[in-house]
Amino acid sequence: MPRRNGMEHKALQFIVTMGNDGVLQSELWRKLDATSREGSRIALKLEKKGLIRRERELCEGRWTYRLYPNRQPPSINSIIDCPCLMCPEDSRCGAWSTISPNNCRKLTNWILGIKEEEMNPSGDS
Ligand code: SF4
């Protein structure tokens, strides 16, 4: 049992690292040193848990599956323009402080996707 869970975990990690390119089922089992039967069972389990999706693909004249992760780990690009990263109030900001993310307009606007120029078209601060 622990071996199979370990295999599932390793399989999922590998599928996630392949990202949008996905990975052929056979390639994954070679990488994990698993049999195709064992591998198919793991892929089905991961799909049932909603962690991956399988898409049929014709490869060298044989039907197989390409496995894709349903979720990607967040990338640094998703927070690169977060106002907190360059905020002069950073050291004084905290959940229970007067300056707080709970009532920060800059952060709220960033989360909602509202650009500062849209809030203040004249450029006044
Ligand atoms: S929540 Fe607002 S005040 Fe606090 S660090 Fe982020 S941008 Fe600055």
Band (121; pLDDT cuts 50, 70, 90): low
Q: How far does residue 72's CA lie from ligand 1's centre (Å)?
A: 27
Q: Which domains does the chain have, with CATH numbers?
A: 2-69 (1.10.10.10), 76-119 (no CATH)
Pocket test for ligand 1, best of 96, 99, 110, 119 (most atoms within 8 A of CB): 99
- The residue among 72 and 112 whose pLDDT is bigger is 112
- Per DSSP, 94 falls in state -
Q: From the CB of 84, is ligand 1 less than 6 Å away?
A: yes
Q: From the CB of 104, is ligand 1 less than 6 Å away?
A: yes
Q: From the CB of 93, is ligand 1 less than 6 Å away?
A: yes
- The residue among 75 and 28 whose pLDDT is bigger is 28
Q: Output the CA–CA distances (angstroms, integers) from residue 21 to 30, 60, 72, in the order listed.
A: 17, 18, 12
Q: Is residue 124 pLDDT above 70, yes or no?
A: no
pLDDT value of residue 106: 94
Residue 23 near residue 66, CB atoms below 8 Å: yes
pLDDT value of residue 1: 43
Lowest mean pLDDT segment, chosen from 41-50, 68-77, 113-122:
113-122
Q: What is the pTM of this model?
A: 0.60
